[in-house]
Amino acid sequence: MANPLKQVFNKDRTFRPKRKFEPGTQRFELHKKAQASLNAGLDLKLAVQLPADEELNDWVAVHVVDFFNRINLIYGTISDYCTEKSCPVMSGGPKYEYRWQDEKYRKPTALSAPKYMNLLMDWIEVQINNEDLFPTNVGTPFPKNFLQVVKKILSRLFRVFVHVYIHHFDRIAQMGSEAHVNTCYKHFYYFVKEFNLIDNKELEPLKDMTSRMCH
């Protein structure tokens, strides 16, 4: 495969259109700062730390959108192989099954992985495009429940990693994209640990892999 990363970032394969930050906004500057740390090859554990003089909620908001975009791309690359037939249940191996719940699905409902992923990405898109939750204007305060919503978004995004690693890693390896996916996972993991945004119970399915990769 000539350029596996090019495939991962192929716009046609994106599962959802990327959410962008408006140039000139504080969020855009923070996004650039976060990217610069990563591009400079800074240790990921250090790169996730809150920069001095920055607001926690702004820093978290920028990363949530960025992780949504990246995980979207990763799932997009394997989505042709994640079908109703291959993945009739949204799971992470035999021990972990994820059920969907929202306004429409009042009770946790068993769904196929592709259906779950579609609902998940739609749901996150609605959250991050909601100005009341993710305000883009400087000075507009974040709502009191912001971190609570973020925790739910990130816990659900983590499930995409679980499904991809456990059920579709052969495809990622075939494309030569393991290094990219692993770096994205490590970045995500260090970030959620730094700010205590996902319960350890949720992180359990990838515990062994994480201890090899991140410690």
Which sign does the torsion angle of CA 93, 172, 67, 108 carry?
Answer: negative
63 labelled as ligand-binding?
no
187 labelled as ligand-binding?
no
82 labelled as ligand-binding?
yes
Q: How far are the Cα atoms of 74, 84, 97, 98, 182 from residue 112, in angstroms, in the given order?
A: 18, 6, 10, 10, 25
Helix (H) or strand (E) holding 25: none
167 labelled as ligand-binding?
no
Are residues 198 and 154 in contact, defined by beta-carbon separation less than 8 angstroms? yes
Q: How far apart are CA 89 and CA 110, in angstroms?
A: 7
Q: How far apart are CA 198 and CA 215, in angstroms?
A: 18
Where does residue 176 rank: exposed (0-12), middle (13-18), buried (19+ CB within 10 A)? middle
The binding site comprises 82, 87, 163, 168
Q: Which residues are part of a known binding site for Zn(2+)?
A: 82, 87, 163, 168
